Amino acid sequence: MALSTLSPPPLPSLTSQSSAAGTSSSSLPKLVHSIAAVSFPVNPHNHCLSTTIAATPPPAAQHKWRTQVSFFTSFLGNNKTKSAEAIKEELLETIAPLDRGAEATPEDQQKIDQIARKLEAVSPTKEPLKSDLLNGKWELIYTTSQSILQTQRPKFLRSRRNFQAINVDTLRAQNMESWPFFNQVTANLTSLNSKKVAVQFDVFKIGGLIPIKAPGRARGELEVTYLDEELRVSRGDKGNLFILTMVDPSYRVPT
């Protein structure tokens, strides 16, 4: 679900840009776009019970073997956790100087996409739409969507910060811009699978105050590809990448 834009002024949306392109050039908003056991068989008919008992390691050996296995699996688990944290750190450091993506070159975009895919591969949340970690207000820190970044406008007319809130229990979402326009839009979500939703926008708010009903074509899709307590990575149905950080897990989307 890209950050949609208003024309004029720009409107936030974190879904894809597919259905916004058809929005009229009137005062209506334009939508540009969105977690062994070892068994020795005993056969009473061939008298192999004694063989089975003989093959069973003594208690001391069993304890030593289990300790070694426990240490080995724990070591692997710790390595995976550290690897995910290292990838997150690399991703955030790469994003930091790029003004949410507005200053990113094609090479920067390619590098960030590669790092994001590494992180997606180790996501701790396999079914994000069933997780409470998705709930709350998120801030966009990077995107490839030029409509959201508004790079065609003078910098002083671009939104300083963009947010998206999601509530999985009500399947509601809200996109918000900060200064200078404070535009908002709310949407209903429909689950397509445990990671992806269809997005149907319902009401735009110009300046956060003036409501305008969204046209039926104002829709898109959003897939959550990485989710933990602090960071979310999502992809829209037009291929745009969105990276967000949690700012308020208690935030509720208006119904």
Helix, strand, coil share (%) of the chain residues, nearest 5: 30, 25, 40
Show the CA angle centred on residue 225, arms to residues 196 and 11, nearest 5°.
70
- SS3 call for 223: strand
Which H or E run contains 164?
A: strand 162-167
Q: Which residue has the tokens 């692997």?
A: 76
Strands 210-213, 219-227: pairing kind = unpaired
pLDDT by 10s per residue, the chain, length 255:
554 433 334 444 444 443 333 333 333 333 334 333 323 233 334 433 333 333 455 555 555 554 454 444 444 445 455 589 999 999 999 999 999 999 999 999 999 999 999 999 999 999 999 999 999 999 999 999 998 998 989 999 999 999 999 999 999 999 999 999 999 999 999 999 999 999 999 999 999 999 999 999 999 999 999 999 999 999 999 999 999 999 999 999 998
> CA 253, CA 110: separation in Å to the nearest integer?
33
Helix (H, G, I), strand (E, B) or coil at 10: coil
Number of neighbours of residue 100 by Cβ within 10 angstroms:
20
Cβ neighbours, 10 Å, residue 58: 8
